[in-house]
Amino acid sequence: MEKEFTCFFTGHRAIAKAWLHSVAELTERETEALINDKGVTDFITGGALGFDTLAARTVIRLKDKYDFIKLHLYLPCYNQMKNWSARDRYEGRMIMSYADSILYVTEDNYITGCMQLRNRRMADDARWCVAYMTRPRSGTAYTVSYAESKGDIVINIAELD
């Protein structure tokens, strides 16, 4: 995976139903633009609920059109899905089955700070970031700030029309 051609996704776990369709469309549009205009071939998502799941589904869908792109999951720990609903665990396992690679950032079960470690690792391994950030104080905002401080190019779809 070459950093210049790698994008990671970061965003909130909750997306208002009224915005869900728009967020999905914008995510797909920007992802496809990165493929066509910037040559991005590798996409990383953190495997969380909400925007991470939406982004992973987007990449899986686009793999039908662009068979050379890859989906990489950076998971914070082995038992991330432990407290998820049965439906969410099913979707998480489905996404894992489509992933080209899975990296567990910590080899333990959940530990304090593993989400932040995962987010930093995604930003460290990518040049591009597609974010869904609507709140200036959140884990997503921290991750976007970290990515920007490293010179990553961030596209916040919450700011697009």
Could you give the CA distance from residue 136 to residue 42 in angstroms, rounded to a whole number?
27
* Residue boundaries of the structural domains of the chain: 3-159
Topology adopted by domain 3-159 = Rossmann fold (3.40.50)
Question: pLDDT tens digits for 31-62?
Answer: 999 999 999 999 999 988 889 999 999 999 99
Could you give the CA distance from residue 52 to residue 50 in angstroms, rounded to a whole number?
6
Question: pLDDT tens digits for 102-133?
Answer: 999 887 666 677 888 999 999 999 999 999 99
The number of helices, as runs of H, and strands, as runs of E, in the chain is 5, 6
Cα–Cα distances in Å, from 64 out to 25, 58, 86? 17, 11, 27
Question: pLDDT tens digits for 53-102?
Answer: 999 999 999 999 999 999 999 998 888 888 889 999 999 999 999 999 99
**Average pLDDT, integer, range 121-147:** 93
**Average model confidence (pLDDT) for the chain?**
91
φ, ψ of residue 104 in degrees (nearest 5): -95, 115
Sheet holding 70-75, edge to edge: 101-104, 70-75, 42-45, 6-11, 128-132, 153-156
Nearest CA-CA partner of 43 in 87, 95, 93, 88:
95
